[in-house]
Amino acid sequence: DIQLTQSPSFLSASIGDRVTITCRASQGISSFLAWYQQKPGKAPKLLIYSASTLQSGVPSRFSGSGSGTEFSLTISRLQPEDFGAYYCQQVNSYPITFGGGTKVEVK
Amino acid sequence: EVQLVESGGGLVQPGGSLRLSCATSGFTFSDPYMDWVRQAPGKGLEWVGRARNRANSYTTEYATSVKGRFTISRDDSRNSLYLQMNSLKTEDTAVYYCARGPYCTNGVCSQGRSFEFWGRGALVTVSS
């Protein structure tokens, strides 16, 4: 199985900060990586797919980059509504796997 | 508007069985792959399995943790996805989400193979 390691597992940042979450795959997955945001008690929401393609309707302050084994999600200017958990997901091969998650707290 | 609504969750004893349903609307159900994802209380997301579409013979894939115990099926005439869970263990306790997977034709899939729409989830508690 492909392991996805996210870091950090928790981060606290101020409004307007630039925030970056990384996701490392245990083997190459090309660009078959997606990012999701999840708020407490809610279903995950797709933010980014194919490592860097912004899902329709997602604010442009979110961006993704990377390929192979190293990926990142960046929020250019953190907003109050960006709190929650963020997960990366590899869809290169079965079983599909998720990273352990990053909880983002807005100061 | 795309909607996915899970049902059938509840409390079941270890070793028991439960069947979840996912009723969908707002898209042509027969076209995309469909997935189940679960989330144990306070934990992260775990993919459970997938049902491919008719063009791909309705074949299925499963996570190692549920293979041989869980079965995914779909009824295109009812626009519904199912998850039959047998030999349940306490560690299967989770919220189970139904998700719309990608549209795949000849090995090329949409949305980078990601999950664009999700249901609200159904809670399954396995406890004596």
Q: In this predicted structure, what is the pLDDT of residue B110?
A: 84
CB contact under 8 A, B115 and A34: yes
Query: How many whole angstroms separate alpha carbon B99 and alpha carbon A12?
Result: 30
Partner-chain contact A98 B64, CB within 8 Å: no
Distance from CA of B94 to the nearest CA of A (A): 12
Distant-in-sequence, close-in-space partners of A71: CB < 8 Å, separation ≥ 6 = A22, A23, A24, A25, A33, A51, A64, A65, A88
- Is the pLDDT at B106 greater than 90? The verdict is no
Phi, psi values for residue B76, rounded to 5°: -65, -30
- B112 and A34 in contact by Cβ < 8 A? yes
Confidence of residue B47 (pLDDT cuts 50, 70, 90): very high
Categorize the per-residue pLDDT at B112 as very low, low, confident or very high, splitting at 50, 70 and 90. confident
- CB-CB contact of A4 with A88 (8 Å): yes
The stretch B35-59 carries a mean pLDDT of 96
Report the 10 Å Cβ neighbour count for A58: 16
What are the chain B neighbours of A31 within 8 Å (beta carbons)? 112
Confidence check: pLDDT of A107 > 90: no
Nearest to B36 by CA among B84, B78, B76, B2: B84
Distance in angstroms (rounded) separating the CA atoms of residues A16 and A79: 6
Token output for A54: 């912004």
Per residue in A16-72, pLDDT tens?
999 999 999 999 999 999 999 999 999 999 999 999 999 999 999 999 999 999 999
- Residues of B in CB contact (< 8 Å) with A are 35, 37, 44-47, 50, 61-64, 97, 102, 111-116, 118-121
Residue B109 pLDDT exceeds 90: no
